[in-house]
Amino acid sequence: MIKVEVRLFAHLRQGREKSQIMELDEGTTISDIIKALNIDKDQVAIMLLNGRDGPETREVKDGDVISLFPPVGGG
């Protein structure tokens, strides 16, 4: 088992903690975390793993910090 911190921003926080520690199996991906949190993948535009953007297919490791952001609108 590994422990990671997941930080949620904007409306992704609704009904969820803004920051939480999750215990996961090794080999877990960011996509798996999004599913576990019952968040629709289309609601997540930016997925940072330790401050670096990239695909949801990245595996997380013990001590990682995952930050999830919804799409941002504006003009």
The per-residue pLDDT for range 20-36, each reduced to its tens digit, is 999 999 999 999 999 99
Confidence class for position 75, pLDDT limits 50, 70, 90? low
Any domain includes 74: no
54 falls within a domain? yes
| 72 vs 23, residue with greater confidence | 23
The total number of structural domains in the chain stands at 1
Residue 64 maps to which CATH number? 3.10.20.30
Rounded to whole angstroms, how far apart are CA atoms 75 and 65? 30
What residues make up the domain containing 9?
2-69
CB count in 10 Å sphere of residue 52? 8
pLDDT at position 72: 81
Q: Is residue 75 part of a domain?
A: no
